[in-house]
Structure 1
Amino acid sequence: MNQKNADLRREPRAPSRAQTSRTLRGRERPQKERETYHALKMHNALTQISYRQRTTIKKEISRTDSFDGFPLLQVIKESVVSQALAGMVDVVPTPIQRLAIPVLLGNETRAARRRSSSSQKNEMDQFLLAAETGSGKTLAYMLPVLDAVKRAEAFDAEEEAKKKAQEMEFRKNANYVAPPPLSNAPHSTTGRPRAIILLPTSELVSQVGKLTKLLSHKVKFRSALISSAYSGKVIRNRLFAPTGIDVLISTPHLLASISESDPNILSRVSHLIIDEADSLLDRSFMPSTSTVIDKTTPSLKQLILCSATIPRSLDSYFCKRFPNMRRLVTPKLHTIPRRVKLSVVDAEKRPYHGNKNLACADTIWSIGKAAAEHAGDTADVRHILVFVNEREKTQEVAEYLISKGIEAVALSRDTPEQRQAETLSAFTTREKESVEIVAKEIAEMPSGPNYMPSSSRSSVPSTPPPKRHLPNTKVLVTTDLGSRGIDTLAVRHVVLYDVPHSTIDFIHRLGRTGRMGRRGRGIVLVGKHDRRDVVREVQEGMFNGQALI
């Protein structure tokens, strides 16, 4: 409008940079400029590990090929083969164990020692153990901690022997009068553990407690596990046992509340392990976890954090709170093992027509029938995990599967604590007889928000008896409650009823299968409103062996 001359025949102006970028979207955009994982960027981003770092870690891992190469006490080495990993033919340390155990024991290179000595000498050592699910992180931090506990115990015994020798010399004096003996004097370590392991749920407390008990048969140390699943009397008797305590396994909320009334229980802690750190350092657990860290800092020698995923928010928190932390990361962090195969079932197509419950039941039936045809009557019990996003959905899906003749149990936060432990014990065990015994015990319990197997369907009058039954198959319908840390070695199949909200949930849910080098299979049910592009990119990343973001 401000031009003096019309100049209608002049060439059009060149398009702006913004207009050019808009025209290059989609198919018109060059292949080189396309960003990988475009859909996954809508999800929670994970911290990236560079290729150079992964290559360096692989070289460090290749240096050790057996537990005998670690400078552990001989009794601890023997307990690994005879107790912790009993029944395994080839006992070989995993990558995270090869990487973490020498460092936690202090067996480092000269360069690493110079770096550590350059920091403040009075500051505790801080470590981050990050490895994929099912990689043996529990044993990676447990063995060095037990080694430190036993060495400290031997040192205390030597100091006690010196004191007794000095006392005997002092008693030789003619004027010495011995004090009266104390009756029922408690042990010096009563209520004062040397090492504490923090876990987010009572199920994980029970699982790690079983491993410590196995190791204690040969190593000879005193351990106790406390959680909300136990009564106050049991917790008090375990924590303040007259024989003393060396290793305590607990949840942050419970331990923080106990320390408020008795701060002395955290006055002797030399090793603090925060397992599932991405959960224990989120909004719900952060106050309690920070309280335990602050109260144990004066006596703490090592702070060990473990996680299978490192979100960017957690990574930034580490940089601020623990700037001197040493990170021990495996090359396959944030990757789903290639031995896990992921397939997709479209619930919108025939014969499901949008009925996800029918698609889930049909998928489980196909798995169970294939196993029965392959092994015949001698087939082992097939354990299948079904993950949903909402805890209210667990009851609905379990009830539908029961109506279709599938032995299913629901597990969520609404399930009582005692029943949660018994349900997981019935599902994770690999012995068929023990599964049936625990299932019978659960069936005899009063009805609640959980759904029982076929033997207890009489307590659910709304569910009609099925016309057929799928044998040798057990299904657990759960939320993310069953996706973290639970030992699911017997699980070969995972069904994702709902597409996970984030890549973190993808990694943890699919990580319930294919553990300890075994093969596994994941099946995603895709509905009308699910993100198909996210599922497609996860499939591509798994096929290429790439880390998710």
Structure 2
Amino acid sequence: MNLRPEVLEAIKQGPLKEVDPLQPTEIQALTIPEILKSEKQHILCAAETGSGKTLAYLLPIINKIKDQEMKAPSFPLISPTNNEEVEDQLKEKEKSQAQLLKSPIRLLNRPRAIVLLPSRELVEQVLSVSKHLSHFAKFRSIAITSHKNRQFVRKTLLMPTDLVVATPAGLLDYVENNHVSFSETRYLIIDEADTMFSKGFNEDVSSIIKQIKNSNITQNNRSYQIIVVTATLPKTVNELLSKELTFIKRITSHSLHKSLPNLSHNFIDLKQFNYNKYEAIIQTLKAHSESASTMIFCNKKIIAKQLETYLHTKNFPVIGLYGDVDDRTTKLESFRNQESHAKILVCTDIASRGVDTTFVNHVILFDFPTTIVDFLHRVGRTARAGKRGKATYFITKKDRQLAERIKRNIRDKRVLS
């Protein structure tokens, strides 16, 4: 794929250290060469959950950042003066700057690449992958969200910054207060695009796109690249992309919007439980291995809270993750580590987007979602990265029509439209 030696080493020694043989996933093989090929071709990368999209965009962007550094001129030599003391001071200053920045292309608080994500949990997750790679590829990435300690972030931005991973609102806050500048930003990645182009995020995302576009136009029409990443591609996203990014190149995996191949499905008509979901959930959990990690999805926060409380009374090792839960990151980490009190996660769709859940064996839809997009995101929390998984769906009267359509499409191996 024409990746630099240090980037290849970062893959081998970093997040894919345990993978043997080392080879790209379908979406990585399709996307990485296309991103590397051009400095101005905008790219849409659409693939099913758990297919390796994070590395599909991080690797080529890191590669481009390192290429820029290699092509950049060295720090200019300081012109001699007649004052030896002044000259020595200037040389010391030059040496200090070179040690700090390594290259004149690396500037303070001016990231060359930005990754946008909808939640602080996803920001921390992508930052973790990025830092794993940076040990070998030698670049610097930082996270910006509204919940980060402001003094710490401002201090961090006073050092060379290559890649910023951020939520849109958090990033704009620092831009508006002149702590971050887009003047050197050549690469913008918008991950979880089906969420990012929806109500609540779209205005901020559009503002960031516009500012980066204008920044590059004012610098002699300098080329820049926007990469849009998603696990589902609703009509609304397609329309917005056509409006915001004309001539974007669309790259989609063969399995997009199809049921994951290693996922087994269990549709439960609640009629057999007299529509008592609490009885159904107890029977379902008892029938499943107690050691298996399980996610239970609810449509509303109030239902998730009630279900978490109920399962506690039945002595299940359950924790909850929804909008106003304190310390969401710690709870997610407890579940990820499968601590004794956190084998089961009751959650809303806040946990259905992008979060690394390769360890999850079982997903239960306590409430059936109202759209195919939410269905795909929820069931995509298991059977990831080639592993097997199970999904159980509770079906009420109002869910039957959508559930039957999904069941038929899964059976016939068709796109879940």
Normalized against structure 2, the TM-score is what? 0.91
**2:14 aligned to 68, 71, 83, which one?**
83
Provide the residue aligned with 2:372 in structure 1: 503
Please tell me whether residue 160 in structure 1 is matched to residue 74 in structure 2: yes
Q: Which amino acid aligns with 2:8?
A: K
Cross-structure match for 2:275:
354
Is the CA contact (8 Å cut-off) linking 1:496 and 1:524 kept in structure 2? yes
Cα distance in structure 2, aligned partners of 1:153 and 1:396: 54
What is the aligned counterpart of 1:408 among 318, 331, 346?
Answer: 318
Query: Is 1:513–2:382 an aligned residue pair?
Result: yes
Match among 312, 317, 328 for residue 420 of structure 1? 328
- Structure 2 letter corresponding to 1:521: K
Q: Which residue type is aligned with residue 545 of structure 1?
A: K
User: Does 1:338 pair with 2:230?
Assistant: no
| Higher deviation after alignment, 95-104 or 276-285 | 276-285
State how 1:282-431 maps to structure 2 within 5 Å.
Answer: 282-297=198-213, 298-299=215-216, 301-349=224-272, 352-368=273-289, 381-416=291-326, 419-429=327-337
SS for the counterpart of 2:74 is helix
2:27 to 77, 80, 96: 96
Give the 3-state SS of the residue equivalent to 2:48 in structure 1: coil
Kindly indicate whether the alpha-carbon contact (under 8 Å) linking 2:157 and 2:179 is maintained by their aligned counterparts in 1: no
CA distance in 2, matches of 1:330, 1:282: 23
Q: Aligned pair in 2 of structure 1 residues 174, 475: CA closer, same or farther (>3 Å)?
A: closer
Q: How far 1:498 moved relative to its partner?
A: 0.7
Task: Go from structure 1 to structure 2 and tell me whether the alpha carbon gap of 1:178 and 1:414 turns closer, same or farther (over 3 Å shift).
Answer: same
TM-superposed deviation, 1:148? 0.5
Name the aligned partner's letter for residue 322 of structure 2.
S
**2:384 pairs with 1:474:** no
Say whether 1:524 aligns with 2:393.
Answer: yes
Whole-angstrom CA distance in 2 between matches of 1:91 and 1:400:
45
Residue range with higher mean Cα deviation, 123-132 or 509-518? 123-132
Q: Report the Cα distance in structure 2 between the residues aligned to 1:216 and 1:233, rounded to whole angstroms.
A: 24
Instruction: State the Cα distance separating 1:405 from its structure 2 match.
Output: 2.0
Larger Rg over CA atoms:
1
Identity score, percent: 31
Deviating 4+ runs (over 6 angstroms): 173-177, 182-186
CA contact (8 A) 1:337 1:542 kept: no
* Deviation (angstroms), 1:263: 7.2
Taking the TM superposition and a 5 Å limit, the aligned residue runs for 1:173-212 are 178=87, 180-181=89-90, 187=101, 189-212=107-130
TM (normalized to structure 1)? 0.69
**CA-to-aligned-CA distance 1:98-152 (integer Å, 9 cap, x gap):** 0001111118xxxxxxxxxxxxxxx932111011111100000000000011111
1:342 match: secondary structure: strand
CA contact (8 A) 1:338 1:542 kept: no
Amino acid at match of 1:326: K
Q: Distance in 1 between matches of 2:313 and 2:188?
A: 47
Partner residue, 1:487: 356
1:251 counterpart = 2:167: yes
Q: Measure, in 2, the Cα distance between the counterparts of 1:263 and 1:234.
A: 12
Gaps of 5+ in 1: 1-69, 108-122, 370-380, 437-452, 454-472
Q: Which amino acid aligns with 1:493?
A: H
Deviation (angstroms), 1:346? 2.3
- The aligned counterpart of 2:220 is none
> 1:492: how far off?
1.2
Aligned partners of 1:335 and 1:546 also within 8 Å: yes
CA positional deviation for 1:337:
1.2
Q: Quote the offset at 1:228 in angstroms.
A: 2.7
Secondary structure of the 1:535 match is helix
Distance 1:347 1:264, change over 3 A: closer
CA contact (8 A) 2:298 2:347 kept: yes
Measure the CA separation in 2 of the matches of 1:326 and 1:209.
26
Q: 1:533 to 1:89 in 2, by over 3 A?
A: same
The alpha-carbon deviation at position 328 of structure 1 amounts to: 0.9
Q: Do the aligned partners of 2:154 and 2:179 also contact (CA within 8 Å) in 1?
A: no
**1:547–1:179: structure 2 CA closer, same or farther, 3 Å change rule?**
same
How many residue pairs get aligned? The number is: 400
1:491 match: secondary structure:
coil
SS where residue 296 of structure 2 aligns?
strand
SS across alignment from 1:477: strand
Give secondary structure in 2 for the equivalent of 1:506.
helix
1:372-418 Cα offsets, whole Å, 9 max, x none, are xxxxxxxxx421000010111111111111122211111100112xx
Q: Is the 8 A contact 2:125 2:356 kept in 1?
A: yes
Amino acid at match of 1:361: I
Amino acid at match of 2:229: C
2:152 corresponds in structure 1 to 234
Distance 1:239 1:175 in 2: 35
Q: CA deviation at 1:174?
A: 6.8
Displacement of 1:175 after TM fit?
9.5
Residues 415 and 318 (structure 1), Cα distance of their counterparts in 2 relative to 1, 3 Å cut: same
| Distance across 1 between alignment mates of 2:321 and 2:140 | 32
Structure 2: how far apart are the matches of 1:427 and 1:93?
A: 28
Amino acid at match of 2:74: E
1:141 to 57, 61, 80: 57
1:200-219 Cα shifts (integer Å, max 9, x gaps): 00000011011011111111
Q: Equivalent residue of 1:530, what SS?
A: helix
